[in-house]
């Protein structure tokens, strides 16, 4: 696999560098595709995206293409990975389109031959080459960050942490909530990046802070909203923002050491029981309309360059992000899980 050094912006992902590709020809949404999809009548979408975004997106698709029902199968990316492995091993064919917050999974799946190369014109024209697989097996659907955040009612802005190292201050003991890389792809990706930048010693110190351990990266924002803990060590940035826009008193923090960057690739499954509906859903999500829906609802950073980021959110280029390295994550995922479980005891 080709590796590159990436700096900051989401536009640079090591999915493959050269655009010389054996990818299939780019397709568009044709009436024939819609008709074939309608005959299938349903499509299953495996994703790690929070339900508050995934289900409305599914409903928007159903409204646009009546007669096709979307079944959203949401769970943490690492559990999703496990579930797909078990289902495939048992010859259960259910997954049509898969979308995960752990980009490393797509390297494995592609190698196993589970992904159906499929490329649309929206992808070839409007998605940066670094964001897609040269053979067209997968493409980044959207990008988000694993940000920090605090509850304004529980932490005075002057006392707020500015970065990861601040969280080791004894005053935060018992006040932190954090996701788990054994369940969440966002946290897996983030854990790899933080361990690389700050060393595993950082987590050893953090574990002494009586951290409340939850599973998915979608849960720290909810624990913060409930006021259960004052500071979230990590979590999906878009959920912190969505809460804030709903009036929840929280403030998002982009750590001074850098914010973990999470791409969310998507692919059509080769064994898809509804191959046409799978392609239609995939193509729609990558279209301007699908991308706009995700951006307007959640403010995640779109992969489609024609779609503007959500107003009121900080532009991705203004945030110091850490380098995402799916190739390395793919190699070391088991080790990361084991180390993490040893340090945090769960």
Partner 1 sequence: MPASSRSEAATADLPVRSSLQLDLSRPILIAVTALLVVMIALPMGWLIVYSLSDKQGTATLGNFVTLFTDPSFVDPLITTLIIAVSVSAICCIVAAPLGWLVARTDMPIRRIVRTLVMASLVTPPFVGAIAWEMLAAPNSGLLNQLWRSLTGMPSDEALFDIYSLTGLIFVIACYTFPYVFILVANALDRMPGELEDASSMLGAKTWQTARRITMPLALPTLLAGALVAFLQALNLFGSPAILAIPAGFHTLTTRIWSLFQFPPKPELAAAASLPLLLLTILLLRGQALALGRRGYAVLGGKYGEPRLVRLGAWRLPAAALALLVLAMPLFLPYAALFNSAFSRVASRLVTLDTITLHNVRFTFLELSSTMPALKNTFLLATLSATLGAVLALLIAYIVARRAVPGHRVLAFLATAPLAIPGIVLGVGLFLAYTRPPLTLYGTLWILLIAFITIELPAAYQQLSSAFHAVHPELEEAGRMLGASRLRTLADITAPLLRSAVIATWCFVFVAVIRELSAAVILFTSETKVLSVLIFDLKESGDVGAIAVLSLTMVGITTVVVAVANRFGGGREAGRLHARTAG
Q: In the complex, which residues of this chain contact partner 1 (CB under 8 A)?
A: 44, 46, 50-51, 55-56, 58-59, 69-76, 78-79, 81-83, 85-87, 89-92, 94-95, 153-154, 174-175, 180, 182-183, 211-216, 218-219, 222-223, 225-230, 248, 334, 337, 341-342, 344-346
Beta strand 97-99 pairing with 42-47: parallel
Tell me whether residue 47 or residue 126 sits nearer to partner 1 (CB atom).
Answer: 47
Residues 6+ apart with CB under 8 A from 204: 343
Please report which helix (H) or strand (E) contains residue 264, including its range.
strand 261-269
| Least CB distance to partner 1 at residue 122 (A) | 25
Burial class (CB in 10 A: 0-12, 13-18, 19+), 87: middle
Tell me whether residue 140 or residue 216 sits nearer to partner 1 (CB atom).
Answer: 216
| Least CB distance to partner 1 at residue 88 (A) | 10
Token pair belonging to 217: 């990266």
Count the neighbouring beta carbons within 10 Å of the beta carbon of residue 7: 9
Tell me whether residue 53 or residue 115 sits nearer to partner 1 (CB atom).
Answer: 53
Tell me whether residue 115 or residue 232 sits nearer to partner 1 (CB atom).
Answer: 232
| Least CB distance to partner 1 at residue 243 (A) | 10
| Least CB distance to partner 1 at residue 216 (A) | 5
| Least CB distance to partner 1 at residue 81 (A) | 5
Query: How many whole angstroms separate alpha carbon 176 and alpha carbon 189?
Result: 20
Tell me whether residue 11 or residue 284 sits nearer to partner 1 (CB atom).
Answer: 284
Query: How many whole angstroms separate alpha carbon 58 and alpha carbon 65?
Result: 10
CB 301 within 8 A of CB 144: yes
């Amino acid at each position: 696999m080709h590796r590159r050094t990436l700096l900051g912006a989401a536009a640079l992902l090591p999915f493959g560098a050269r655009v010389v590709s054996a990818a299939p020809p780019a397709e568009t949404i044709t009436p024939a595709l819609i008709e074939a999809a309608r005959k299938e009548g349903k499509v299953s979408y495996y994703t790690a995206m929070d339900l508050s975004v995934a289900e409305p997106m599914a409903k928007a698709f159903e409204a646009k293409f009546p007669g096709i029902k979307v079944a959203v199968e949401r769970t943490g990316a690492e559990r999703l990975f496990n579930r797909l492995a078990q289902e495939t091993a048992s010859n259960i064919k259910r997954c049509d389109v898969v979308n995960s917050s752990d980009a490393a999974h797509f390297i494995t799946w592609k190698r196993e031959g589970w992904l159906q190369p499929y490329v649309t014109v929206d992808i070839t024209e409007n998605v940066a080459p670094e964001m897609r697989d040269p053979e067209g097996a997968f493409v980044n659907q959207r990008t988000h960050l694993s940000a920090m955040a605090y509850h304004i009612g529980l932490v005075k802005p002057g006392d707020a942490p500015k970065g990861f190292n601040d969280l080791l201050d004894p005053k935060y003991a018992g006040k932190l909530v954090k996701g788990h890389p054994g369940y969440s792809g966002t946290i897996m990706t983030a854990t790899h990046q933080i361990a690389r930048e700050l060393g595993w010693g950082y987590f050893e110190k953090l574990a002494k802070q009586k951290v409340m351990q939850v599973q998915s990266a979608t849960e720290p924002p909810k624990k913060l909203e409930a006021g259960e803990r004052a500071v979230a060590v990590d979590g999906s940035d878009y959920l912190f923002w969505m809460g804030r826009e709903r009036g929840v008193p929280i403030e998002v923090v982009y750590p001074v050491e850098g914010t973990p960057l999470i791409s969310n690739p998507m692919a059509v499954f080769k064994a898809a029981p509804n191959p046409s509906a799978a392609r239609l859903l995939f193509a729609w999500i990558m279209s301007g309309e699908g991308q706009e829906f995700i951006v307007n609802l959640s403010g995640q950073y779109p992969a489609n360059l024609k779609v503007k980021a959500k107003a009121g959110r900080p532009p991705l280029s203004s945030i110091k992000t850490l380098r995402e390295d799916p190739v390395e994550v793919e190699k070391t995922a088991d080790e990361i899980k084991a180390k993490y479980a040893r340090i945090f005891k769960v």
